[in-house]
């Protein structure tokens, strides 16, 4: 098993030399998509250019929803109460290997609740674990591996949890796609026995792998003191000595209690009226917004957290339009249909879910936006499933897990975590490549054999 760690370290050294920034990867993927469209379709360069430009802003509404997942998750994760819980949890591991395993489990568990909470909560946990020394020799955990395992939630479990875009959209009755093909409630997707057992298997696999991925002591990458100083925890603004009416309003818990409790009451009414099967992405965002306001106690604290949360959205806000442009090329040139038709022609009713898993994973690397892709691709995917007699719930699950298949090696959603950790994607890619390979084998086998 030491061989696995050595391979990961060497892959990391390779990526340091040859893997560019996340923005450069997005531009290169745009060029690759353009070449694919020229080779596989009848599209001309002017049509590709127009499709790229038209698609650039086509995902603004969905992008705002995703930004809110990240935004509210960050605000909740840095709230004093949650931060204290994470700091106490960080004191549990007793060895460097135990620390990375613990980080992996926490990241995947948080992602089942909310992927934004996972990214930021894991980043906060990394802050605490990076400063710890273990054993009589006072050895730190490998910092790069800590950050890599902090990304496991986004790469392995989020689309099987409560913020899963495709299952939540499929459960939303107002969506055009559900009006045409019918609602798929979350008890058949997120809370199905297949999904929960696969989540459990994923936890076991990646936790064990994390243990063996930790490099030897002489190869351990320890965060330097100057970088530790940058990993400061969120500090709520101090209450001013001179209390004016305005200052009192900004530092009283009354206003936050009103908004937070009112929001949770609304969520309770919705769940009572419609049932937990009707949970959708907007209700999930509303819940985490209400909790963030409630846990920060004062308007001054929640506004300071919002300012800090905005700082980690830069990668999403700046690069999301680039990926939307790539998807514009896929749609405008018919490239998506060609790829989809290729997979459908080579599938049977028994293998179709596994085929959709791989199809979703490949498309996800070019356009890392599971919910937006699902709303556009679902019509022909579900139509094909209907013609084969495959249940819609199986297709939604396959699409959701496929959307995670390449997240581990796609830098886009790692940007907020990397911004907090002060690393680049190439610093953690070696470990993620090993994790991705093992994870894809496990999930592919599950869809081929058990679904």
How large is the C-alpha radius of gyration of the chain?
22
Tell me how far apart the alpha carbons of residues 141 and 244 are, in angstroms, rounded to a whole number.
48
Q: Is the model's pTM score more than 0.85? A: no
The pLDDT of residue 17 = 73
Cβ 389 vs Cβ 349: under 8 Å: yes
Question: What ranges in 389-414 are assigned the alpha helix state H?
Answer: 392-405
Query: Which tokens go with 7?
Result: 């391979």
Neighbours of 321 (CB within 10 A): 18
Sign of the dihedral through C-alpha 289, 397, 177, 55: positive
pLDDT means over runs of 10, the chain (451 residues): 69 70 82 90 91 85 76 83 85 91 94 81 84 80 91 92 84 73 87 95 95 82 62 75 86 92 92 73 84 91 88 76 84 79 76 88 76 70 81 92 87 78 84 92 92 75
The pLDDT of residue 443 = 94
Cβ 56 vs Cβ 324: under 8 Å: yes
Tell me how far apart the alpha carbons of residues 253 and 366 are, in angstroms, rounded to a whole number.
45
Cβ 309 vs Cβ 74: under 8 Å: yes
Query: Which tokens go with 306?
Result: 């919002």
The pLDDT of residue 13 = 73
Tell me how far apart the alpha carbons of residues 419 and 311 are, in angstroms, rounded to a whole number.
9
Tell me how far apart the alpha carbons of residues 24 and 35 are, in angstroms, rounded to a whole number.
17
Cβ 436 vs Cβ 409: under 8 Å: yes
**Closest by CA position to 398, among listed 433, 341, 347:** 347
**Closest by CA position to 2, among listed 146, 267, 184, 217:** 217
Tell me how far apart the alpha carbons of residues 410 and 370 are, in angstroms, rounded to a whole number.
13
The pLDDT of residue 277 = 62
Tell me how far apart the alpha carbons of residues 188 and 371 are, in angstroms, rounded to a whole number.
18
Cβ 376 vs Cβ 67: under 8 Å: no
The pLDDT of residue 189 = 92
**Where do the DSSP E strands lie in 354-414?**
none
The pLDDT of residue 19 = 67
The pLDDT of residue 157 = 94
Neighbours of 387 (CB within 10 A): 10
DSSP string covering 170-217:
HT-TTSHHHHHH----TTTTTTSHHHHHHHHHHHHHHHHHHHHHSPPG
DSSP string covering 110-147:
HHHH-HHHHHHHHHHHHHHHHT--BTTTTBPPPHHHHH
Tell me how far apart the alpha carbons of residues 393 and 202 are, in angstroms, rounded to a whole number.
20
Q: How far is CA 342 from the centre of its chain?
A: 28
């Amino acid at each position: 098993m030491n061989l696995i760690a050595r391979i990961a370290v060497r892959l990391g050294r390779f990526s340091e030399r040859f893997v560019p920034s996340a923005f450069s990867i997005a531009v290169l993927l745009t060029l690759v998509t353009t070449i694919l469209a020229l080779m596989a379709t009848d599209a001309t360069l002017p049509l590709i250019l127009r499709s790229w430009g038209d698609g650039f802003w086509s995902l603004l509404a969905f992008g705002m929803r995703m930004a809110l997942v990240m935004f509210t998750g960050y605000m909740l994760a840095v709230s004093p109460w949650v931060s204290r819980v994470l700091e106490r949890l960080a004191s549990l591991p007793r060895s460097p290997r135990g620390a990375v395993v613990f980080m992996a489990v926490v990241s995947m568990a948080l992602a089942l609740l909310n992927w934004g909470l996972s990214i930021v909560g894991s980043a906060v946990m990394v802050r605490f674990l990076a400063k710890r020394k273990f054993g009589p020799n006072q050895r730190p955990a490998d910092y790069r591996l800590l950050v890599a395992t902090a990304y496991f939630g986004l790469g392995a479990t989020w689309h099987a949890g409560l913020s899963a875009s495709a299952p939540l959209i499929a459960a939303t009755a107002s969506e055009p796609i559900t009006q045409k093909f019918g609602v798929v409630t979350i008890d058949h997707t997120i809370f199905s026995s297949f999904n929960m057992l696969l989540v459990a298997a994923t936890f076991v696999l990646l936790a064990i792998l994390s243990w063996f991925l930790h490099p030897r002591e002489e190869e351990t990458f320890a965060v330097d003191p100057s970088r530790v100083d940058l990993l400061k925890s969120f500090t709520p603004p101090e209450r001013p000595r001179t209390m004016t009416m305005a200052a009192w309003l900004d530092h009283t818990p009354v206003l936050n209690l009103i908004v937070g409790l009112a929001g949770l009451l609304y969520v309770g009414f919705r769940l009572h009226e419609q049932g937990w099967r009707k949970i959708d992405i907007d209700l999930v965002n509303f819940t985490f917004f209400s909790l963030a306001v409630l846990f920060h106690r004062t308007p001054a604290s929640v506004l300071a957290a919002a300012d800090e949360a905005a700082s980690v959205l830069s990668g999403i806000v700046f690069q999301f339009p680039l990926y939307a442009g790539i998807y514009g090329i896929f749609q405008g040139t018919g490239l998506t249909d060609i790829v989809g038709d290729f997979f459908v022609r080579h599938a049977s009713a028994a293998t179709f879910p596994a085929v959709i898993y791989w199809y979703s994973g490949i498309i996800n690397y070019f356009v890392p936006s599971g919910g937006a892709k699902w709303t556009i691709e679902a019509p022909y995917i579900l139509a094909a499933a209907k013609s084969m007699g495959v249940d819609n719930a199986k297709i939604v699950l396959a699409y959701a897990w496929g959307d995670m298949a390449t997240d581990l090696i796609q830098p886009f959603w790692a940007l907020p975590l990397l911004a907090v950790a002060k690393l680049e994607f190439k610093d953690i890619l070696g470990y993620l490549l090993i994790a991705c390979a093992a994870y894809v084998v496990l999930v592919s086998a599950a869809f081929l054999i058990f679904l």
